[in-house]
Structure 1
Amino acid sequence: MCGIFGYLGTKNTATSMILDGLKALEYRGYDSWGVAIKKEDGTLFVQKHIGKIGNARIPSFHSHIGIGHTRWATHGGVTEANAHPHIDCTGKVAIVHNGIVENFEGLKLDLQNKGHRFSSETDSEVIVHLIEEIQKTQSDLTIVMQKLRSKISGMNALIAFFPEDESFYIIKNGSPIVVGSVDDDYFIASDASAILPYTNNVYFLEDNEMLHISQSGISLFDNLGAKKIAKFTKLSYSAKSAEKGEYKHYMIKEILEQPKVLKNIIDTQTHEIEIAADLIKHAYGTYLIGCGTASYACLAGTYLFSKIAKRHINFAIGSEFSYLIDFLKENSLVFALSQSGETIDTIASVKKAIKRKSKLLSLTNSEGSTLYRMSDTNLLLHAGTEKAVASTKAYTAQIVYLYLIAHQLADSLDDGKKHVTQAIHTIKNLIEQKSKIELLAKEIAKHKSIFILGRGVSYAAALESALKIKEVSYIHAEGFAAGELKHGVIALIEKETPVILFNPEDETYEDTLSAAHEVKARGAHVIGVSSKNDKVYDTFIEVKNCADATIIPNVVIAQLLGYYLALAKNLDPDMPRNLAKSVTVK
């Protein structure tokens, strides 16, 4: 949720590099930020702010070491005092932290009784005072940090910065953290994308590891304090895909990139699709799991596997899967979807499945992420960095993967590729006509609620579409199965209420059309999305029939609508309030 960045090296531009690193992590979501940098005179410069970094400037001075942090409030309100970095009573230790110290209340009370003065409401500040307290009886910093690890509980990632020693200690347990190295320069971040402008040579810390970095080099320790070798790897992707370029927002850039992303899957991922299909074919039950947008991709997958491959695939929300694992066997397959590969609820459930010796197949957009590294078999979306908080191209890439895997199981992969190619052409046509969707957004922006209906796989599309709209426009949007209208939903329909119906020309067409008449009779403004117009629609958006791949352009319409609704309401579609791109704490 929070973003961590640190630099130690030979260059005297630590200040600007840390600011740039924090800006690269903005997409994760945050409400405050701060830095701690060692100045030339040896003093520690600390600055904290509420709100966005924007064009913030830090007083100019040379420095080759420092840390920074973007905070998304969990414990304590949004205040400068609660922002990181946190400093001990002596001013000789600074920390930045991502995660939750589960036992902080007892630790804080004990430290206060020993005379420590706290300046924030956060659980994180406990860490720096605990380091200070341990140092009273132990001068060896490595031992100090090992003792710290044994005293705090919960899922955490942190950097402890010792300015006098000019060193960092990095601890990882649950929350992600990665180190980049080039020559004698070291970069630490919550996400490799912030390091890529400087190097693609990285090491992802594993749970219960501790890394010491100084001008002399690095030392890696396991949970018992024994030294290990840090095996750095070269990432295959670059920082270029993370640039906004000529676009006003990342969200519209990423929406428009989808034809290229989806074509790349068709052209280059056949072998990976065959591997995934073979795993599913021989598994004793397959379980699709994911959170948020990924969960709706999983739900769509259950319909696609059922209809195309004639195979039942189980589905559970990542945060709920822990309560549904009693039937997992050694030859069961858990198929986990996560754009970031760091979604904590999915990872926590996956860990329980691994303990039952089930196999793990993952589909992520982040090479080297926690989920990627945990997996027996890992697939990459190759969608390029997704910076907008609301997922767009990663979602459609997930759908294409699932669609093609289903067709591979049915021995009809060529048909699947043909349908996806048709969907790509349809997306291009929608993009060319996006001004029509922009006008629709301006018309319905004044409404308090939007309802989206569909049947079959279009029900899954309705859920994802509603999520996209509510995330970025703050309009109450709900997706429903069209057949559920009479079971309560229809009570919410009022005069002029916008109701979007996904109505592809498949086995659901006539029943969905009946739902259109039902809401129309209650005064709704009916927006039909179909290959076939009908007089019941007040607004019609044509989407050519692409078989079951029609779900892809249908959701792109909702992505564009959400984007233009945000603009109509003068909102930032890239960074919606209260949301984080990567949910790395429970």
Structure 2
Amino acid sequence: MCGIFAYIGKRNDAANIVLEGLKRLEYRGYDSWGIAVKNVKRFDIEKHVGKIGVAHTILPPSNFGIGHTRWATHGGVTDFNAHPHLDCTKTISIVHNGIVENNDVLKKKLIAKGHKFLSETDTEVISHLIEENKKNNSFEEAVTKSFKELDGLNAIVAADSETNEIIAAKNGSPLIVGKNNGEYYLASDASALIPHTRTLLFVEDDMLIVINKQLKVILLRDNKVVTAKFEKIDWEIEEAEIGPYKHFMIKEIHEQPRIIRNIAKSYEKEIKLLSEVIDKAQGTFFIGAGTAYHACLAGAYLFAKISNIHINTAPASEFNYLESFLTKKSLVIALSQSGETIDVIEPLNRAKQKGAKIAVLTNVLGSTIYRMSDFKMLLSAGPEKAVASTKAYIAKLTILLMLSFSMIGKIDRAKDLLLAAADEIDRLISDKSIEEIKALAKLLSNSEHVYTIGRGASYPTALEAALKIKEVSYIHTEGLAGGELKHGTIALIEKGTPVIVFAPNDETFEAIISNATEIKSRGGVIIGVGSENSAVFDHFIEVKDLSEASIIAQVVPAQLLAYYLTLEKKYDPDKPRNLAKSVTVK
């Protein structure tokens, strides 16, 4: 949540560099945005409410500046509450990602000392706190002291126009430094740095970064200066660009066949290594949040069906309340696109304290959960910019399917199924298939409620389909296990209520058709998704029978339907209201 970008270097167009960086980070928050650049001995600042879009900046030339795109947590969406925030002298500027939990206590003390506040945010406390601490200390010492006074998980970037320094520190929220020919960049996400450099430093928790003409790294725990460990990433700039597509969401849906083929053809060694780790564990747990949790649940069904192995799974935010049975022989496998989700990081920290082994599936090299794990596997899906996750979900399912077959020594069978799934998704995203989805989206666009049902491995698909539709189109959509329908929710079915029924050619087919029949008898409109049409379906989307890999292909029509429903309703599918890509606060 929230995007930070900063630049200090030789160029004199810092404001434009920062603005372009913020545009690449806007998926992290789009309530408001702002930039501060040095102008002689003070900062000039520009702030706006709303999305950045194609905005231009009117700030003066400068060789360093900081910026922020906001997802509001403290204070309303206003120009005053937008970052950056200044101190009373306008020589200190701050941007921030996180929540200062002791904000009220600090603010009262600072007001008592004469500091004047212009916003309702917790962030402004930091700029005044640094100003206060700088009265008897250097800027570096003032930032260090101030950061240690903050409660909660935070990442800050502070700039001083008098000393020409930018100083960053983090605890929990992500922050990355890039360097290139004596110029330095800071960002909340590596994808924003790709146009400038692929040489990156992933900032660790309790680490302070001091930048002027040189870079210094300090470990705050013992005030020790250490060598900066930069590494190179191999992402291409095109992966983070929208290309010929209208939105990132549809671009990322179209990238899914390539991602599946890549994993199927090149992950065998890593899959077998993780299989051995699972085999040795005494109790394996899958945890994730949102879409990642749906992948966890799907994985539990795949392991049960294919490899006859029981996997425990829970939403990551609830796992702290289930951790009492963890031991040193337990294995916790966390799934997270960003690798920065606080609801995942917190239970992993607690699991490590109990001695459990940690494995992660994440899309971001150097992310927090990537660094804290004993075994790590990258999704290799490329930067995912749309807030609603699509290709990362498919990548997770692909790996989980391969793992399930690897546990019984049949990884070649998984490869064959995955390559067939990739071919089927190519068909589903063809122009002809998409026209059918568009027609269905037009039909459903005025619906107040939509329901999705599935059984067995299709139950997580129903949950994910419901999430995709409601998070981008704002149509209330509820996903259910088919057998649970009669236990309450069927009371909401009335004439014309759309219900999407996932009916693959497996052991669940007859039972889910029976559920569909019950719904239709009460006036529901049935949209069937599967390999075999049925007389009960009012509308039918064919997804060819792919055996266990049907779970991968059958979610794609739901992704497409969510996208085209959103266009019908004239909303932005990449940036749905009240949401941000990476949830780094509780």
Under TM normalisation by the shorter chain, which class is it? over 0.9
Which residue, 379, 389, 392 being the options, matches 1:391?
Answer: 389
Q: Map 1:397-408; keep pairs closer than 5 Å.
A: 397-408=395-406
Q: Secondary structure at the match of 1:384?
A: coil
Q: Look up the match of 1:49.
A: 48
Residues 334-371 of structure 1 show CA distances to partners (whole Å, capped at 9, x for unaligned) of 10000011111100110000111111110011111111
1:30-69 alignment to 2 at 5 Å? Answer: 30-39=30-39, 41-59=40-58, 61-69=60-68
The amino acid across from 1:361 in the alignment is A
Alignment of 1:194-273 (within 5 A): 194-273=192-271
Do 2:301 and 2:456's aligned partners in 1 also have CA atoms closer than 8 Å?
Answer: yes
Distance in 1, matches of 2:392 and 2:477, equals: 21
User: Counterpart of 1:439 in structure 2: which amino acid?
Assistant: A
CA distance in 2: counterparts of 1:319 and 1:335, whole angstroms: 14
Secondary structure in structure 2 of the residue aligned to 1:96:
strand
Distance 1:26 1:153, change over 3 A: same
Specify the alignment match of 1:132 in structure 2: 131
CA contact (8 A) 1:146 1:225 kept: no
Query: Which residue matches 1:7?
Result: 7
Residue in structure 2 matched with residue 497 of structure 1 by the alignment: 497
Greater shift in the superposed pair: 419-428 or 89-98 = 419-428
Contact 1:372 1:378 in 2 (8 A): yes
**1:167-566 pair list within 5 angstroms:** 167-432=165-430, 433-566=433-566
1:60 CA displacement: 5.7
CA distance in 2, matches of 1:322, 1:209: 27
Kindly state the Cα deviation for residue 142 of structure 1 after the two structures are TM-superposed: 2.2
Are 2:94 and 1:73 aligned? no
1:369-424 deviation per Cα after TM superposition (whole angstroms, max 9, x unaligned): 11111111110111111111100011011001001100000211111111212211
Tell me which amino acid in the other structure corresponds to 1:125.
E
**Matched residue, 1:573:** 573
Report if the CA contact (8 A) 2:30-2:52 is conserved.
no
Q: Aligned partners of 1:308 and 1:480: how far apart in 2?
A: 23
2:522 and 2:260 map into 1 onto residues whose CA distance is 39
Equivalent in the alignment of 2:156: 158
Counterpart of 1:100 in structure 2 is 99
Aligned amino acid, residue 101 of structure 1: V
Alpha-carbon displacement from aligned partner over 1:50-94 (angstroms, at most 9, x marks no partner): 001122222263211000001100011101111100100111111
Q: Report if aligned partners of 1:6, 1:189 keep a CA contact under 8 Å in 2.
A: yes
- Matching residue's letter, 2:512: T
> 1: CA distance between counterparts of 2:237 and 2:258?
18
Q: Conserved in 1, the CA contact under 8 Å of 2:19 and 2:67?
A: yes
Contact 1:200 1:238 in 2 (8 A): no
In structure 2, what is the Cα distance between the partners aligned to 1:482 and 1:497? 16
Q: Which region of structure 1 is more displaced relative to structure 2, 1-10 or 213-222?
A: 213-222
Distance in 2 between the 1:448 and 1:304 partners? 33
- Any idea what the Cα deviations from partners look like across 1:480-530, whole Å, max 9, x if unmatched? 000011100100111011101001111111100100100000001101111
Q: Distance in 1 between matches of 2:548 and 2:124?
A: 52
C-alpha separation in 1, matches of 2:128 and 2:338: 32
Question: Aligned to 2:7, what secondary structure does the other structure show?
Answer: strand
Determine the C-alpha separation between the residues in 1 that align with 2:343 and 2:485: 32
- TM-score w.r.t. length of structure 1: 0.98
Residue 29 of structure 1 contacts residue 389 of structure 1 at CA under 8 Å; is this kept in 2?
no
Retained in 1: the 8 A contact 2:42–2:90? no
Native 8 Å contact 1:407 1:415 kept in 2: yes
Name the Cα RMSD after superposition.
1.0
Secondary structure of the corresponding residue to residue 381 of structure 2: coil
User: Counterparts of 1:423 and 1:29 in 2: how far apart (Å)?
Assistant: 34
- Secondary structure of the residue aligned to 1:157 is strand
- Cα offset, 1:583, TM superposition: 0.6
Aligned AA (2:124): E
**Structure 1 residues 219 and 420 mapped into 2: Cα distance closer, same or farther (>3 Å)?**
closer
Deviations 1:288-311 (A, max 9, x none): 000010000000000000000100
- The one-letter amino acid paired with 2:324 is D
Q: Does 1:149 align with 2:143?
A: no
State whether residues 451 and 498 of structure 1, in contact with CA within 8 Å, keep that contact through their aligned partners in structure 2. Answer: yes
Once the two structures are overlaid, the 10-residue window that deviates more, 25-34 or 558-567, is 25-34
Structure 1: runs of 5 or more not aligned: none
Q: Do the aligned residues in 1 keep the contact of 2:31 with 2:72 (CA within 8 Å)?
A: yes
How far 1:219 sits from its partner (Å)?
3.8
TM norm structure 2: 0.98
Q: Distance in 2 between matches of 1:414 and 1:131?
A: 59
SS of aligned partner of 1:288: strand
User: Take 1:412 and 1:226, find their aligned partners in 2: how far apart are those partners?
Assistant: 50
Residue 552 of structure 1 aligns to which amino acid in structure 2? Answer: I
For structure 1, which segment, 420-429 or 542-551, has the greater mean C-alpha deviation from structure 2 after superposition? 420-429
The answer on whether the counterparts of 2:30 and 2:69 sit within 8 Å (CA) in structure 1 is: yes
C-alpha contact (below 8 Å) 1:423/1:550 kept by paired residues: yes
1:117 paired residue number: 116
Deviations 1:249-295 (A, max 9, x none): 11111101111110000011111111111111110111100001000
* CA drift at 1:106: 0.7
Paired residue secondary structure (2:376): strand
CA contact (8 A) 2:37 2:59 kept: no
Q: 1:219 to 1:421 in 2, by over 3 A?
A: closer
Over residues 144-166 of structure 1, what are the superposed CA-to-partner deviations in whole Å (9 max), with x where a residue is unaligned? 12211221111000011001111
**What are the equivalent positions in structure 2 for 1:72-91 lying under 5 Å apart?**
72-91=71-90
Contact map agreement 2:46 2:59 (CA 8 A) in 1: no
Give the partner amino acid of 1:265: I
More displaced 10-residue stretch of structure 1: 219-228 or 489-498: 219-228
User: Which residue identity is paired with 1:117?
Assistant: K
Distance in 2 (alpha carbons) for counterparts of 1:436 and 1:109? 60
Between 1:573-582 and 1:218-227, the stretch displaced more is 218-227
Q: Distance in 1 between matches of 2:402 and 2:22?
A: 38
Letter paired with 1:440: L
Distance (whole Å) between structure 1 residues aligned to residue 91 and residue 541 of structure 2: 62
For residues 35 and 206 of structure 2, what CA distance do their matches in structure 1 show? 26
Determine if contact 1:34/1:84 at 8 Å carries over to the other structure: yes
